[in-house]
Amino acid sequence: MFPMSAGTGSLLLRYSPLIDKKQRISGIRLRLGESRCAPKDAARALGDAVATWDAHDSPLFVRVPAEAVGADLTAWKPPQGTVLEVPPLTEVDVAWAGAWNGSRPPFCASVSEGSLPAPGTFPYLSVPVDALGSAQGEPIKALCRGTKWVALEAETPRTYKLAMLRGAESASGWSFLAPPEGEKKKSLAGAASILSLLELVTRDADIGEMEAILKRDVVLAYKLVAIVNSAAMGLTVEIRSFQHAIQILGMQRLKRWLSMLLATANADSAPALSQISLTRATFLDLVGTELGFQDAQDDLFLTGAFSLLDRILGVSFEEIFAKVAVAPEVAEAVTSRTGPYGGLLKLAESLEDRAGPSQVAAEVEALALSPSFVNRSLVAACSAAVRTRFESGGAA
């Protein structure tokens, strides 16, 4: 088992999404644990993890604890798109900021009551939503005018809407996980073909049966042919039949593609839910490889992809699993966070900045994973999910 020191929790990253005005995840906000952490350790942890970020067109906000502000951090070369979120700099810290010279990333100042930076000092500001209605609300609003700012702690639909009304570029938080007021029960009819095809793939049915479904659903058939001929596949071939397309894609890729089509079935109205599903799916896939689950990677991917499917489709898991058979381990993890995959899914959720550092550290230790591996896997998974907004707008 990987030995965990008392301060290991401070070196584990947690994240929250940056939700834009279209309710899509436009970037990610990372932060280290809250306990004290030496600058050199922070620099090493951040440099190691953030190297896996390749969604360079999207902002990656990295919250740097006050204790980590030091010369060691200036040696870190963050990737394009990185923004360092720091406490308002003191006179001593201004010298530290200058040490970055031209290679430094942009700074974002954390704003709170009694801690207001001078106007125009920083290109970005991060502001807790509640601070806008505090005694210093007006000075804070004035500070935000003319400056790009991110709203923090937008955990409900109400606080998200407030942040957007106040002019925030994005809001950091999990407001989209709460079901909208008055949300009506939905039907699986819109996803019927995907569910039927996934059912056939799961039980290794004859390709002819799969082709019959594609012939009845021209939109799904078009998407299949498009993905086979996409740049991601590296092929440009003449598709002679739907059976031919399935054979080229392969059953493993077909199963993953269908699972992500399901997870993005309601992406127009719930894009953030779909992107978080992909984050979880990719994270579980990466962690499963490390833990020796090579034969179960498809099931781990499904576990993450399906973990929010009841919210995405607006129906119960009971109804979903009545239409498509999945491994019992997947159903256990998704419905009750139990079974062999339940602990991995719980870790993915804890890393969503909704658990304290000590809880995250305990879960990582229980799985015998190293903090550095968890951090790298988390950033890579977040990067993959954010990229979908630019590459395909969905599950292609």
CATH number at residue 165: 3.20.20.450
Q: What is the dihedral of CA 132, 137, 141, 143, to 10 degrees?
A: -120
Q: Is the pLDDT of residue 98 over 90?
A: no
Please check the confidence at residue 161 and state whether its pLDDT lies above 90: yes
Average pLDDT over residues 233-241: 64
Split into its structural domains, the chain has a count of 2
17 and 106 fall within a common domain: yes
Q: Which of 116-125, 224-233, 254-263 has the highest mean pLDDT?
A: 254-263
| 268: confidence class by pLDDT, cuts 50, 70, 90 | low
145 pLDDT higher than 90:
no
Confidence tier at 182 by pLDDT (50, 70, 90): low
Give percent of the chain above pLDDT 90.
32
Of residues 277 and 388, more confidence is placed in 277
Q: For the segment 291-306, what is each residue's pLDDT rounded down to a tens digit?
A: 988 888 889 998 999 9
Q: How confident is the model at residue 396 (pLDDT cuts 50, 70, 90)?
A: very low
pLDDT greater at residue 315 or residue 93: 315
User: At 393, is the pLDDT very low, low, confident or very high (cuts 50, 70, 90)?
Assistant: very low
Tell me: do 146 and 266 sit in the same domain.
Answer: no
Shared-domain flag, residues 195 and 334: yes
Using CA atoms, how far apart are residues 211 and 392, in angstroms rounded to an integer? 25
Task: Report residue 86's pLDDT band, with 50, 70 and 90 as the boundaries.
Answer: confident
* pLDDT of 1 strictly over 50: no
Residue 29's pLDDT band, with cuts at 50, 70 and 90, is: very high
Phi-psi region of 153 (alpha: psi -120 to 50; beta: other; left: phi over 0): left
Final residue before a domain boundary, out of 119, 148, 174: 174
The band of 285, judged by pLDDT with boundaries at 50, 70 and 90, is very high
Report how far residue 315's alpha carbon sits from residue 190's, in angstroms, rounded to the nearest whole number: 12
Residues 53 and 141 both lie in one domain: yes
CA distance 193 to 363: 38
Mean pLDDT of the chain: 82
Q: Which residue has the tokens 């082709």?
A: 211
Q: What's the pLDDT at 104?
A: 65
Q: What spatial distance separates the first Cα and last Cα of the chain, rounded to whole Å?
A: 38
* 97 and 38, same domain (yes or no): yes
The C-alpha atoms of residue 394 and residue 6 are separated, in whole angstroms, by 41
| pLDDT confidence of residue 2 | 41
Instruction: Round to whole Å and give the CA distance between 372 and 60.
Output: 18
In a domain, 181, yes or no: no
Euclidean distance between CA atoms 176 and 187, whole angstroms: 20
Question: Would you mind telling me the total number of residues written for the chain in this entry?
Answer: 396
Instruction: State the residue for tokens 């039907």.
Output: 187
* Distance between CA atoms of residues 52 and 376, nearest Å: 6
Q: Is 269 helix (H, G, I), strand (E, B) or coil?
A: coil
Same domain for 290 and 154, yes or no, is no
Asked, for residue 334, whether it belongs to a domain, the answer is yes
Query: Is residue 366 assigned to a domain?
Result: no
* pLDDT given for residue 347 in this prediction: 97
From the number of C-beta atoms within 10 Å of its C-beta (0-12, 13-18, 19+), residue 206 rates as exposed
When pLDDT is averaged across residues 278-288 and rounded to a whole number, the result is 95
Mean pLDDT of 86-113: 66
Judged by average pLDDT, the poorest of 87-91, 239-243, 334-338 is 87-91
Residue that is written with structure tokens 């020796």 in the block: 292
Long-range pairs of 231-235 with CB within 8 A, sequence gap ≥ 24: 232/396
Amino acid identity for residue 280 in this structure: R
Looking at the fold, whether 329 and 204 belong to one and the same domain comes out as: yes
List, as own/partner pairs, every contact residues 345-348 make where C-beta atoms lie below 8 angstroms and the sequence separation is at least 24, other chains included. Answer: 345/280, 345/284, 345/303, 345/304, 345/307, 347/287, 347/374, 348/279, 348/280, 348/283, 348/284, 348/304, 348/307
Mean pLDDT of 179-195: 69
Give the pLDDT band (50/70/90) at residue 103. Answer: low
What pLDDT is attached to residue 92?
46
Of 317, 335, 351, the one marking the end of a domain is: 351
At residue 312 the predicted structure's pLDDT band, cuts being 50, 70 and 90, is confident
pLDDT number for residue 153: 92
Residues in contact with 270: Cβ distance below 8 Å, sequence separation at least 6, in sequence order: 23, 176, 311, 312
- Tell whether 93 is covered by a domain: yes
State whether 112 and 211 are in the same domain: no
Q: Which domain holds residue 84?
A: 8-174
Looking at the fold, whether 161 and 198 belong to one and the same domain comes out as: no
Residue 82 C-alpha from the chain's centroid: 16
Considering the chain, what percentage of its residues have pLDDT values greater than 70? 80
**What is the pLDDT averaged over residues 317-325?**
85
Give the pLDDT of residue 376. Answer: 96
Specify whether the CB–CB gap between 326 and 302 falls below 8 A: yes
The pLDDT value recorded for residue 4 is 46
Looking at the structure, do residues 151 and 218 belong to the same domain, yes or no?
A: no
For residue 315, is it within any domain? Answer: yes
Six-digit token pair at 334?
A: 């998704």
Residue 367 falls inside a structural domain? no
Strands 25-31 and 60-63: parallel
203 has pLDDT over 80: yes
pLDDT of residue 265: 74
- pTM for the whole structure: 0.83
Residues 102 and 223 in one domain: no
Question: How many other CB atoms are there within 10 angstroms of residue 208's CB atom?
Answer: 9
In a domain, 182, yes or no: no
- Any domain includes 60: yes
Clarify whether residues 260 and 327 are in a common domain. yes
41-50, 88-97, 383-392: the lowest-pLDDT one: 88-97
